[in-house]
Amino acid sequence: MSAKLNLGLIGLGRMGRSYADYIANRIPGANLTAISDINEKSLESGSKDFGVSKCYKNYQDLAADKEIDAVVIITSTSTHKDIIIEAAKQGKAVFCEKPLTLSLAEANEIKKVIEDSGIFFHMGFMRRYDKGYAAAKRKIEEGVIGTPVVFKSSSRDPHRPSLEFLNREVSGGLFADMGIHDFDLARWLMGEVASVYSIGGILAYPEMKDTRDVDNGVSTLKFVNGTLGVVDLSRNGVYGYDIRTEILGTKGTVKIGYLRETQILVMTEAGINHDTVPYFMERFGDAYITQLSDFVEKFMEGKNPAIACNDGIAALKISLAAQLSCDENRPVALTEINSR
Protein backbone atom coordinates (compact mmCIF):
# COMPACT_ATOMS: atom_id res chain seq x y z
CA MET A 1 0.00 0.00 0.00
CA SER A 2 1.36 3.42 -0.96
CA ALA A 3 1.33 6.42 1.39
CA LYS A 4 -1.94 7.38 -0.25
CA LEU A 5 -4.75 4.90 -0.56
CA ASN A 6 -5.32 3.83 -4.16
CA LEU A 7 -9.02 3.76 -4.82
CA GLY A 8 -10.83 2.12 -7.70
CA LEU A 9 -14.24 3.58 -8.42
CA ILE A 10 -16.93 1.40 -9.98
CA GLY A 11 -19.92 3.15 -11.51
CA LEU A 12 -19.74 6.48 -13.32
CA GLY A 13 -23.32 7.62 -13.37
CA ARG A 14 -24.15 11.10 -12.14
CA MET A 15 -23.42 10.19 -8.57
CA GLY A 16 -20.35 8.15 -9.47
CA ARG A 17 -18.92 11.19 -11.19
CA SER A 18 -19.39 13.27 -8.05
CA TYR A 19 -17.54 10.58 -6.12
CA ALA A 20 -14.78 10.59 -8.76
CA ASP A 21 -14.44 14.33 -8.42
CA TYR A 22 -14.29 14.14 -4.64
CA ILE A 23 -11.71 11.33 -4.62
CA ALA A 24 -9.55 13.00 -7.26
CA ASN A 25 -9.65 16.49 -5.76
CA ARG A 26 -10.90 16.54 -2.22
CA ILE A 27 -9.49 13.54 -0.35
CA PRO A 28 -5.82 14.27 0.29
CA GLY A 29 -5.21 10.71 1.58
CA ALA A 30 -6.43 8.95 -1.53
CA ASN A 31 -5.72 8.62 -5.24
CA LEU A 32 -8.36 7.92 -7.83
CA THR A 33 -6.28 5.17 -9.38
CA ALA A 34 -8.79 3.33 -11.54
CA ILE A 35 -12.35 3.62 -12.74
CA SER A 36 -14.80 1.11 -14.12
CA ASP A 37 -18.09 1.42 -15.96
CA ILE A 38 -19.89 -0.78 -18.46
CA ASN A 39 -20.56 2.29 -20.57
CA GLU A 40 -17.43 3.09 -22.58
CA LYS A 41 -18.37 6.71 -23.12
CA SER A 42 -18.71 7.27 -19.39
CA LEU A 43 -15.35 5.61 -18.97
CA GLU A 44 -13.72 7.85 -21.54
CA SER A 45 -15.08 11.09 -20.16
CA GLY A 46 -14.31 9.93 -16.62
CA SER A 47 -10.75 9.17 -17.60
CA LYS A 48 -10.34 12.59 -19.15
CA ASP A 49 -12.20 14.66 -16.57
CA PHE A 50 -10.55 13.14 -13.53
CA GLY A 51 -7.15 12.30 -15.00
CA VAL A 52 -7.39 8.55 -14.49
CA SER A 53 -5.36 6.29 -16.75
CA LYS A 54 -6.60 2.89 -15.61
CA CYS A 55 -10.05 2.35 -17.06
CA TYR A 56 -11.81 -1.01 -16.84
CA LYS A 57 -14.95 -1.98 -18.65
CA ASN A 58 -15.39 -4.94 -16.29
CA TYR A 59 -15.37 -4.36 -12.58
CA GLN A 60 -13.71 -7.77 -12.16
CA ASP A 61 -10.57 -6.40 -13.82
CA LEU A 62 -10.56 -3.39 -11.52
CA ALA A 63 -11.04 -5.62 -8.49
CA ALA A 64 -8.12 -7.78 -9.66
CA ASP A 65 -5.78 -4.82 -10.13
CA LYS A 66 -2.94 -5.28 -7.64
CA GLU A 67 -2.36 -1.53 -7.39
CA ILE A 68 -5.86 -0.93 -6.05
CA ASP A 69 -6.26 -0.92 -2.25
CA ALA A 70 -9.95 -0.29 -2.00
CA VAL A 71 -13.05 -0.28 -4.15
CA VAL A 72 -15.78 2.35 -4.08
CA ILE A 73 -19.09 0.99 -5.38
CA ILE A 74 -21.54 3.53 -6.81
CA THR A 75 -23.34 1.25 -9.27
CA SER A 76 -27.04 0.45 -9.38
CA THR A 77 -28.21 -1.45 -6.33
CA SER A 78 -28.88 -4.71 -8.13
CA THR A 79 -25.16 -5.09 -8.89
CA HIS A 80 -23.85 -4.42 -5.36
CA LYS A 81 -23.79 -8.05 -4.24
CA ASP A 82 -21.72 -9.42 -7.13
CA ILE A 83 -19.24 -6.58 -6.97
CA ILE A 84 -18.79 -6.86 -3.22
CA ILE A 85 -18.21 -10.62 -3.57
CA GLU A 86 -15.61 -10.03 -6.28
CA ALA A 87 -13.87 -7.31 -4.24
CA ALA A 88 -13.88 -9.56 -1.18
CA LYS A 89 -12.36 -12.37 -3.21
CA GLN A 90 -9.52 -9.99 -4.09
CA GLY A 91 -9.21 -8.84 -0.50
CA LYS A 92 -9.99 -5.24 -1.27
CA ALA A 93 -11.52 -2.83 1.21
CA VAL A 94 -14.97 -1.79 0.09
CA PHE A 95 -17.04 1.38 0.32
CA CYS A 96 -20.60 0.73 -0.84
CA GLU A 97 -23.19 3.44 -1.41
CA LYS A 98 -26.62 2.83 0.10
CA PRO A 99 -28.77 0.77 -0.14
CA LEU A 100 -26.73 -2.35 0.39
CA THR A 101 -29.24 -4.39 -1.58
CA LEU A 102 -33.01 -4.68 -1.80
CA SER A 103 -33.50 -8.20 -0.42
CA LEU A 104 -32.74 -9.61 2.97
CA ALA A 105 -31.48 -12.86 1.47
CA GLU A 106 -28.87 -11.01 -0.60
CA ALA A 107 -27.98 -8.87 2.38
CA ASN A 108 -27.25 -11.91 4.48
CA GLU A 109 -25.19 -13.41 1.66
CA ILE A 110 -23.12 -10.20 1.47
CA LYS A 111 -22.69 -10.19 5.22
CA LYS A 112 -21.32 -13.72 5.19
CA VAL A 113 -18.86 -12.92 2.42
CA ILE A 114 -17.59 -9.87 4.29
CA GLU A 115 -17.22 -11.80 7.53
CA ASP A 116 -15.56 -14.78 5.88
CA SER A 117 -13.11 -12.66 3.91
CA GLY A 118 -12.48 -10.26 6.79
CA ILE A 119 -12.37 -7.25 4.48
CA PHE A 120 -12.90 -3.70 5.68
CA PHE A 121 -16.41 -2.70 4.62
CA HIS A 122 -17.99 0.75 4.98
CA MET A 123 -21.69 1.21 4.30
CA GLY A 124 -22.44 4.64 2.82
CA PHE A 125 -24.89 6.70 4.88
CA MET A 126 -23.54 10.18 4.36
CA ARG A 127 -26.06 12.00 6.53
CA ARG A 128 -24.24 10.82 9.64
CA TYR A 129 -21.30 12.92 8.43
CA ASP A 130 -23.27 16.10 7.85
CA LYS A 131 -22.17 18.86 10.22
CA GLY A 132 -25.73 19.41 11.39
CA TYR A 133 -26.51 15.75 12.09
CA ALA A 134 -23.12 15.26 13.72
CA ALA A 135 -23.70 18.27 15.97
CA ALA A 136 -27.16 16.99 16.89
CA LYS A 137 -25.71 13.60 17.79
CA ARG A 138 -23.19 15.33 20.06
CA LYS A 139 -25.85 17.48 21.72
CA ILE A 140 -27.93 14.39 22.43
CA GLU A 141 -24.95 12.54 23.85
CA GLU A 142 -24.13 15.55 26.00
CA GLY A 143 -27.62 15.28 27.48
CA VAL A 144 -28.73 18.71 26.29
CA ILE A 145 -32.24 17.51 25.43
CA GLY A 146 -32.50 14.95 28.21
CA THR A 147 -33.69 11.50 27.18
CA PRO A 148 -34.79 11.39 23.51
CA VAL A 149 -38.45 10.35 23.26
CA VAL A 150 -39.67 11.20 19.76
CA PHE A 151 -37.79 11.02 16.46
CA LYS A 152 -39.20 12.94 13.49
CA SER A 153 -37.65 12.94 10.05
CA SER A 154 -38.80 14.20 6.70
CA SER A 155 -37.22 13.67 3.29
CA ARG A 156 -38.45 15.28 0.12
CA ASP A 157 -36.96 15.09 -3.32
CA PRO A 158 -37.49 18.08 -5.61
CA HIS A 159 -38.94 15.86 -8.35
CA ARG A 160 -39.62 12.22 -9.07
CA PRO A 161 -37.01 9.96 -10.71
CA SER A 162 -37.76 8.25 -14.04
CA LEU A 163 -40.64 5.80 -14.17
CA GLU A 164 -38.11 3.13 -15.08
CA PHE A 165 -36.26 3.67 -11.83
CA LEU A 166 -39.45 4.02 -9.84
CA ASN A 167 -40.39 0.41 -10.60
CA ARG A 168 -40.30 -1.15 -7.19
CA GLU A 169 -38.01 -3.95 -8.39
CA VAL A 170 -35.40 -1.37 -9.40
CA SER A 171 -35.63 1.32 -6.71
CA GLY A 172 -36.90 -0.85 -3.91
CA GLY A 173 -39.79 1.57 -3.50
CA LEU A 174 -40.12 4.86 -1.65
CA PHE A 175 -39.49 3.37 1.80
CA ALA A 176 -36.24 1.68 0.74
CA ASP A 177 -34.96 4.20 -1.77
CA MET A 178 -35.61 7.39 0.20
CA GLY A 179 -36.63 6.19 3.64
CA ILE A 180 -33.52 4.15 4.27
CA HIS A 181 -31.61 7.35 5.10
CA ASP A 182 -34.17 8.35 7.72
CA PHE A 183 -34.37 4.81 9.08
CA ASP A 184 -30.60 4.76 9.45
CA LEU A 185 -30.73 8.09 11.31
CA ALA A 186 -33.51 6.70 13.50
CA ARG A 187 -31.31 3.79 14.59
CA TRP A 188 -28.25 5.99 14.98
CA LEU A 189 -29.98 8.60 17.12
CA MET A 190 -32.61 6.58 19.00
CA GLY A 191 -31.76 2.87 18.98
CA GLU A 192 -33.21 -0.23 17.33
CA VAL A 193 -36.69 -0.26 15.85
CA ALA A 194 -39.26 -2.79 17.08
CA SER A 195 -42.14 -2.24 14.69
CA VAL A 196 -43.32 -0.06 11.83
CA TYR A 197 -46.64 1.09 10.43
CA SER A 198 -46.80 2.83 7.07
CA ILE A 199 -49.30 4.51 4.84
CA GLY A 200 -48.72 5.78 1.33
CA GLY A 201 -50.32 6.69 -1.93
CA ILE A 202 -49.81 7.90 -5.46
CA LEU A 203 -50.93 11.45 -4.88
CA ALA A 204 -48.80 13.69 -7.06
CA TYR A 205 -47.75 11.64 -10.08
CA PRO A 206 -50.66 9.56 -11.44
CA GLU A 207 -48.36 8.25 -14.16
CA MET A 208 -46.72 6.11 -11.45
CA LYS A 209 -49.74 3.80 -11.32
CA ASP A 210 -47.85 0.83 -12.83
CA THR A 211 -44.70 1.19 -10.74
CA ARG A 212 -46.07 -0.63 -7.67
CA ASP A 213 -44.66 2.32 -5.72
CA VAL A 214 -46.12 5.34 -3.96
CA ASP A 215 -44.96 8.95 -4.25
CA ASN A 216 -45.77 9.92 -0.67
CA GLY A 217 -45.56 7.84 2.47
CA VAL A 218 -45.59 8.15 6.23
CA SER A 219 -44.13 5.59 8.62
CA THR A 220 -44.48 5.50 12.37
CA LEU A 221 -41.81 3.68 14.32
CA LYS A 222 -41.88 2.04 17.72
CA PHE A 223 -38.39 1.67 19.07
CA VAL A 224 -37.35 -1.27 21.23
CA ASN A 225 -36.85 1.13 24.14
CA GLY A 226 -40.46 2.27 23.86
CA THR A 227 -39.79 5.64 22.23
CA LEU A 228 -41.65 6.82 19.14
CA GLY A 229 -40.75 7.87 15.64
CA VAL A 230 -42.29 9.18 12.47
CA VAL A 231 -40.81 9.50 8.99
CA ASP A 232 -42.56 11.20 6.10
CA LEU A 233 -41.31 10.86 2.55
CA SER A 234 -42.29 12.64 -0.63
CA ARG A 235 -41.23 12.71 -4.25
CA ASN A 236 -42.90 16.10 -4.73
CA GLY A 237 -40.86 18.56 -2.72
CA VAL A 238 -41.04 20.68 -5.84
CA TYR A 239 -39.72 23.76 -4.03
CA GLY A 240 -36.34 22.17 -3.28
CA TYR A 241 -34.54 19.31 -1.62
CA ASP A 242 -35.95 19.33 1.89
CA ILE A 243 -34.39 17.16 4.57
CA ARG A 244 -35.33 17.84 8.19
CA THR A 245 -34.99 15.84 11.35
CA GLU A 246 -35.97 16.58 14.92
CA ILE A 247 -35.38 14.71 18.14
CA LEU A 248 -37.61 15.66 21.05
CA GLY A 249 -36.30 14.79 24.47
CA THR A 250 -37.49 15.20 28.01
CA LYS A 251 -35.56 18.45 28.40
CA GLY A 252 -35.75 19.98 24.97
CA THR A 253 -35.62 19.37 21.28
CA VAL A 254 -32.98 19.57 18.60
CA LYS A 255 -33.78 20.30 14.97
CA ILE A 256 -31.57 19.70 11.97
CA GLY A 257 -32.22 20.99 8.51
CA TYR A 258 -32.38 24.12 6.45
CA LEU A 259 -33.78 25.34 3.24
CA ARG A 260 -31.48 28.03 1.94
CA GLU A 261 -28.59 27.63 -0.41
CA THR A 262 -27.19 31.11 -0.93
CA GLN A 263 -27.52 33.30 2.11
CA ILE A 264 -29.45 36.14 0.62
CA LEU A 265 -32.89 37.45 1.37
CA VAL A 266 -34.73 39.40 -1.28
CA MET A 267 -37.56 41.61 -0.08
CA THR A 268 -39.84 43.27 -2.58
CA GLU A 269 -43.53 44.03 -2.89
CA ALA A 270 -43.92 40.36 -3.77
CA GLY A 271 -42.88 39.43 -0.23
CA ILE A 272 -39.75 38.16 1.39
CA ASN A 273 -38.02 35.50 -0.59
CA HIS A 274 -35.03 33.23 -0.41
CA ASP A 275 -33.88 30.31 -2.48
CA THR A 276 -33.81 26.64 -1.59
CA VAL A 277 -31.31 23.83 -1.71
CA PRO A 278 -31.65 22.31 -5.19
CA TYR A 279 -30.67 18.72 -4.54
CA PHE A 280 -28.63 16.32 -2.50
CA MET A 281 -25.14 17.14 -3.71
CA GLU A 282 -25.66 20.80 -2.84
CA ARG A 283 -26.96 19.73 0.57
CA PHE A 284 -24.72 16.83 1.43
CA GLY A 285 -21.63 17.32 -0.78
CA ASP A 286 -19.44 18.05 2.22
CA ALA A 287 -20.89 15.07 4.07
CA TYR A 288 -19.99 12.75 1.19
CA ILE A 289 -16.44 14.05 1.30
CA THR A 290 -16.18 13.73 5.07
CA GLN A 291 -17.52 10.20 4.84
CA LEU A 292 -14.98 9.21 2.16
CA SER A 293 -12.18 10.72 4.22
CA ASP A 294 -13.32 8.77 7.23
CA PHE A 295 -13.43 5.57 5.17
CA VAL A 296 -9.86 6.20 4.00
CA GLU A 297 -8.56 7.13 7.43
CA LYS A 298 -10.23 4.38 9.39
CA PHE A 299 -8.98 1.77 6.93
CA MET A 300 -5.43 3.10 6.83
CA GLU A 301 -5.30 3.31 10.61
CA GLY A 302 -6.58 -0.25 11.00
CA LYS A 303 -9.73 0.85 12.81
CA ASN A 304 -13.24 -0.49 12.42
CA PRO A 305 -15.48 1.20 9.87
CA ALA A 306 -17.87 3.78 11.36
CA ILE A 307 -20.81 2.30 9.50
CA ALA A 308 -20.76 -1.44 8.98
CA CYS A 309 -22.58 -4.00 6.88
CA ASN A 310 -24.93 -4.66 9.79
CA ASP A 311 -26.04 -1.04 9.67
CA GLY A 312 -26.95 -1.48 6.04
CA ILE A 313 -28.91 -4.62 6.86
CA ALA A 314 -30.70 -3.08 9.84
CA ALA A 315 -31.89 -0.07 7.84
CA LEU A 316 -32.95 -2.38 5.03
CA LYS A 317 -35.07 -4.41 7.43
CA ILE A 318 -36.92 -1.29 8.56
CA SER A 319 -37.50 -0.36 4.92
CA LEU A 320 -38.85 -3.81 4.18
CA ALA A 321 -41.13 -3.68 7.22
CA ALA A 322 -42.33 -0.23 6.21
CA GLN A 323 -43.14 -1.45 2.72
CA LEU A 324 -44.89 -4.59 3.95
CA SER A 325 -46.90 -2.51 6.40
CA CYS A 326 -47.97 -0.13 3.65
CA ASP A 327 -48.92 -3.04 1.40
CA GLU A 328 -50.95 -4.84 4.05
CA ASN A 329 -52.18 -1.89 6.17
CA ARG A 330 -51.04 -3.29 9.48
CA PRO A 331 -48.18 -2.71 11.90
CA VAL A 332 -45.23 -4.98 11.16
CA ALA A 333 -42.77 -6.11 13.80
CA LEU A 334 -39.12 -6.21 12.74
CA THR A 335 -38.91 -9.77 14.03
CA GLU A 336 -41.30 -10.74 11.28
CA ILE A 337 -38.80 -9.45 8.71
CA ASN A 338 -35.99 -11.35 10.34
CA SER A 339 -37.75 -14.60 9.78
CA ARG A 340 -38.77 -14.09 6.19
Q: What is the edge-to-edge ordering of all strands in the sheet holding 332-333?
A: 242-249, 148-156, 228-234, 216-223, 193-201, 332-333
* 275 part of the interface to its own copies, by CB under 8 A: yes
Question: Quick check: 73 and 80 in contact, CB under 8 A?
Answer: yes
60 binds its own copies (CB under 8 A): no
Which candidate, 328, 334, 294, 332, places its Cα nearest to that of 314?
334
How many residues make contact with its own copies (CB under 8 A)? 73
| Binding of residue 264 to its own copies (CB under 8 A) | yes
CA atoms of 192 and 154, how far apart (whole Å): 19
Alpha-carbon gap, residue 257 to 240, rounded angstroms: 13
Q: Which is nearer to its own copies, 104 or 230 (CB)?
A: 230
DSSP state of 78: G
* Closer Cβ to its own copies, 114 or 248, answer by number: 248
The answer to the question of residue 308 lying near its own copies (CB under 8 A) is no
CB of 325 to its own copies, least distance (A): 9
Work out which of 147, 304, 335, 338 binds its own copies, going by CB under 8 A: 147
Is residue 181 within 8 Å of 291, Cβ to Cβ? Answer: no
Residues 21-50 within binding reach of its own copies (CB under 8 A): 24-26, 28
99 near its own copies, judged by CB under 8 A: no
Of the candidates 45, 104, 308, 331, which one interacts with its own copies according to CB under 8 A? 331
Report the site for its own copies in 233-252 (rule: CB under 8 A).
234, 236-240, 242, 248, 250-252
Report DSSP state, residue 160.
Answer: -
Cα separation of 145 and 290, whole Å?
26
Reported as type and span, the H/E element at residue 18 is: helix 14-26
Q: Does 258 bind its own copies (CB under 8 A)?
A: yes
Nearest to its own copies of 256, 300 (CB atom) = 256
User: Within positions 168 to 227, which residues make up the interface with its own copies, using CB under 8 A?
Assistant: 197, 199-201, 203-204, 216-218, 220, 222, 226-227
Nearer of residues 15 and 228 to its own copies, judged by Cβ: 228
